[in-house]
Structure 1
Amino acid sequence: MVYLKRKADDFLTAWKADPDRKPLIVKGPRQVGKTETIRRFAAGAYANVVEINFVEEPKYRAITTDGYGADAIIRNISLLDPSKRFIPGETLLFFDEIQSHPDIATALKFLRIDGRFDVICSGSMLGISYREIESNSVGYKTDYEMYSMDFEEFLWAKGYGEDVADGMLEHLTQARPFSQVEMDVYSSAFLDYCVLGGMPAVVTPYIESGTFSGTLQTQRQLVADYQEDIRKYATGLDQARILNVFRHIPVQLARENKKFQISKVASGARFKDYRGCVEWLETSGMANVCRCLTYPELPLRGNYDENKFKIYFGDTGLFVAMLDDEASDDLRANRNLGVYKGAMYESIVAEALRKAGYELYYYKKEDSTLEQDFFVRTREWLVPIEVKARKGTAKSMRTLIASDSYPEIRFGIKLSAGNIGSSEHVFSAPYFTTFLMRRLLRAYDEGDAPLLDNPER
């Protein structure tokens, strides 16, 4: 089977090269490629790997019964499987699916102090049990969050080199439009990415066969698996309510007003009864929550109305899988997004921003048509982002830029199917460049993206 290169590969290599490395915990939702990535890295970096999966091999949950010291852990593993070898300085201990045995996190401190073996832990629902893991291993671990593939990784899977992203970034920082060939190729690949999402189990057969054959069935199985995880791990909460919210995400995104309305989830539903459900889906990595700013100003964190939000899937492929058969068939056969066009592009932009490390915020002014899809920031300025499914003038963004009421907004970024351009303090870029947003704004801060500069109003 083809291996899909991931950004986590470079992180793992750098982690191994650090002489002061701590046990590593790789977090992320189900099926984003954590286990395969770690296994491939381990096979090339270590002479000996001891892998334990606490879901598939529940007997290993007993390895901490005699305490958390390195000797006790190693002794109990050897008792359960005498074929496993422990070579000091050459062995990686890989504990997988640790959400089924979070108690192992207590052992990380002692394994770190012992120092004979490197340790990597991974799990699909770590967000849910992470408070327990955090309290048991604070100061003795390194965290890494892994997502499904972003568009850059998707291009790698299609055979493009790392220089492609550098070339795209150069276009953006110089405000130099792409050629027609570049626009056609990248836009076509991006539409495929929109249809597939970034789950390796979906992308791999597409890469191998060059067709969408079987990908919808895989996507729908992933949705079923996610719903099963809700039933399995949502302890102490109303699982039916969490499932209701999960299933209503595509329905509510398809509305003109994409704000998630709890009242639409079930008859008589109230926000206070569902608050924990939304938080659970976000913490699990299944969903991205975009919060409504109380006012478009810095700082962003904490400056929002907790009762107003939008919900997107963590991977847009899940959104596609939950469309009705007719819409899904039309999307694959004709690349027609239909009534979901606005929701699809907004969802894929939200996903790209989240994978780039941004928290998600939007703004809707009360009793006004003023509404802005997303916000990011530079060192000094608040930067509105507009997602245009159709050709348009980004009216709300221009209002924010022109008004003296929002002094921290000097320019905005419009994402659309069109090419790079700049007009009246609005910088336009194609959707497929969204994954470069953080790098673009860093270049702006360093003075390397001069055409984003804004003269005084």
Structure 2
Amino acid sequence: MFQRLALTALHRWGEKEGRKPLVLRGARQVGKTTLVKLFAREFDVFIELNLEEKENARLFVWEVSFDDLLAGIYAKAGVRMENKRTLIFIDEIQNEPEAVRSLRYFYEKRPDLHVIAAGSLLESLVGNHISFPVGRVEYMALHPCTFTEFLGALGENVLVEQIERLTVPQSVHSYVMDLFRKYMIVGGLPEAVANYAKYKDWVRLNDIFNSLIAGYKDDIEKYAKKNKEQDILRYILNYGWGLAGQRFQFAKFAGSSYKSSEMGMPLGFWRKRFYWNLFIL
């Protein structure tokens, strides 16, 4: 795994006084889990709870004291409760509302523990179906890889330093622009960036991109409950790509029969939830 700039932000969060549990937000496949695991290398104890696993989610369901819950978390991880620097990572936290509520008690009763929560559906559920404890958590947004992160993955560390200092020699301008064009094709998904950095093969990226689209299609029903909205979201996924970089109208989007009022929410959904710039550039 190549270095992410967001790791520096995690370091600042981990070292500051009055630290609160951190809610890590971001689109699917931008590397939230991998980033936390990189950060975890600096801790004596790392406990990961993926709440897609029912036995992990059940820890938060029982009506027990916070101390009992914490003891259960350590026991489930097979770790002794000792005075060591500890990071607890609650992944897919949206699967259990009681886990969301428990974050306030981590802040109030065990501020010495480092707690990070994340979830693949948070961008669509926060504010509608999930309410995090006000004033007891803080947020960090993780975005797709930047151009300099892409260069770092390729081993172009000198160029990264020059770009950050705005001292890139004119003699390598064409070379840097060629790398930027490659970055625009590969995109910012960490898995795609790492794959291209290793193999330099465009064709190998197809499986990664197809897998991502399949994942979005499988999750449609989680993001939109109404059948009409689900149909429109699927239509955008299937036919919206052809309008990338072009001006378009909401009405009859991509040759559809949908009205402007019907397209507004789904198109805004893709832009805001997944940081896509495929349609509006």
The two structures have a TM-score, normalised by structure 2, of: 0.88
Which aligned pairs between 1:274-423 and structure 2 lie closer than 5 A? 274-285=263-274, 287-288=276-277, 311-312=279-280, 346=281
Q: Give the SS at the match of 1:49.
A: strand
Kindly state the Cα deviation for residue 21 of structure 1 after the two structures are TM-superposed: 1.0
Q: Give the SS at the match of 1:11.
A: helix
One-letter amino acid of the structure 2 residue matched with residue 278 of structure 1: L
1:135 is matched with 131
Q: Give aligned-pair identity as a percent.
A: 23
1:39 is matched with 37
Aligned partner (choices 174, 198, 202) of residue 212 of structure 1: 202
One-letter amino acid of the structure 1 residue matched with residue 90 of structure 2: F
Kindly state the Cα deviation for residue 267 of structure 1 after the two structures are TM-superposed: 4.6
One-letter amino acid of the structure 2 residue matched with residue 98 of structure 1: I
Kindly state the Cα deviation for residue 266 of structure 1 after the two structures are TM-superposed: 5.9
Contact 1:260–1:311 (CA<8 Å) still a contact in 2? no
One-letter amino acid of the structure 2 residue matched with residue 13 of structure 1: H
Contact 2:21–2:137 (CA<8 Å) still a contact in 1? yes
Q: What is the CA deviation profile of residues 373-426 of structure 1, one whole-angstrom value per residue up to 9, with x for unaligned ones?
A: xxxxxxxxxxxxxxxxxxxxxxxxxxxxxxxxxxxxxxxxxxxxxxxxxxxxxx
One-letter amino acid of the structure 2 residue matched with residue 269 of structure 1: Y
Kindly state the Cα deviation for residue 263 of structure 1 after the two structures are TM-superposed: 1.4
Take 1:103 and 1:129, find their aligned partners in 2: how far apart are those partners? 15
Q: Aligned in 2, Cα 1:273/1:211: closer, same or farther, shift over 3 Å?
A: closer
One-letter amino acid of the structure 2 residue matched with residue 39 of structure 1: K
Which aligned pairs between 1:258-273 and structure 2 lie closer than 5 A? 258-265=247-254, 267-273=256-262
Q: Aligned in 2, Cα 1:16/1:205: closer, same or farther, shift over 3 Å?
A: same
Kindly state the Cα deviation for residue 92 of structure 1 after the two structures are TM-superposed: 1.1
Aligned partner (choices 187, 191, 194) of residue 201 of structure 1: 191
Kindly state the Cα deviation for residue 212 of structure 1 after the two structures are TM-superposed: 2.6
Q: Give the SS at the match of 2:18.
A: coil
Take 1:49 and 1:252, find their aligned partners in 2: how far apart are those partners? 45
Take 1:273 and 1:129, find their aligned partners in 2: how far apart are those partners? 20
Take 2:128 and 2:232, find their aligned partners in 1: how far apart are those partners? 24
Larger Rg: 1
Q: Give the SS at the match of 1:31.
A: coil
1:50 is matched with 47
Contact 1:69–1:110 (CA<8 Å) still a contact in 2? no
Take 1:35 and 1:125, find their aligned partners in 2: how far apart are those partners? 14
Q: Aligned in 2, Cα 1:48/1:192: closer, same or farther, shift over 3 Å?
A: same
After alignment, is 128-137 or 238-247 more displaced?
128-137
After alignment, is 244-253 or 31-40 more displaced?
244-253
Contact 2:94–2:130 (CA<8 Å) still a contact in 1? no
Is 1:17 matched with 2:15? yes
Kindly state the Cα deviation for residue 200 of structure 1 after the two structures are TM-superposed: 1.4
Give the alignment's Cα RMSD to 1 decimal: 2.5
1:91 is matched with 86
1:120 is matched with 116
Q: Give the SS at the match of 2:115.
A: strand
Kindly state the Cα deviation for residue 68 of structure 1 after the two structures are TM-superposed: 7.8
Take 1:121 and 1:209, find their aligned partners in 2: how far apart are those partners? 33
- Where relative contact order (Cα < 8 A, 6+ residues apart) is larger, the structure is 2
Residue correspondences, number = 277
Aligned partner (choices 233, 244, 248) of residue 253 of structure 1: 244
Which aligned pairs between 1:60-99 and structure 2 lie closer than 5 A? 60-67=56-63, 70-78=66-74, 81=76, 83-99=78-94
Q: Aligned in 2, Cα 1:110/1:147: closer, same or farther, shift over 3 Å?
A: same
Unpaired runs of 5+ residues, structure 2, are none
One-letter amino acid of the structure 2 residue matched with residue 124 of structure 1: S
Take 1:88 and 1:236, find their aligned partners in 2: how far apart are those partners? 49
Q: Give the SS at the match of 1:105.
A: helix
1:157 is matched with 153
Kindly state the Cα deviation for residue 50 of structure 1 after the two structures are TM-superposed: 0.8
Q: Aligned in 2, Cα 1:86/1:212: closer, same or farther, shift over 3 Å?
A: farther
Which aligned pairs between 1:423-434 and structure 2 lie closer than 5 A? none
Take 2:217 and 2:162, find their aligned partners in 1: how far apart are those partners? 37
Take 1:34 and 1:117, find their aligned partners in 2: how far apart are those partners? 19
Kindly state the Cα deviation for residue 60 of structure 1 after the two structures are TM-superposed: 1.6
Pick the structure with more helix per residue.
2
Take 1:82 and 1:212, find their aligned partners in 2: how far apart are those partners? 40
Aligned partner (choices 173, 176, 183) of residue 183 of structure 1: 173
Pick the structure with more strand per residue.
1
Kindly state the Cα deviation for residue 126 of structure 1 after the two structures are TM-superposed: 0.9
Q: Aligned in 2, Cα 1:121/1:112: closer, same or farther, shift over 3 Å?
A: same
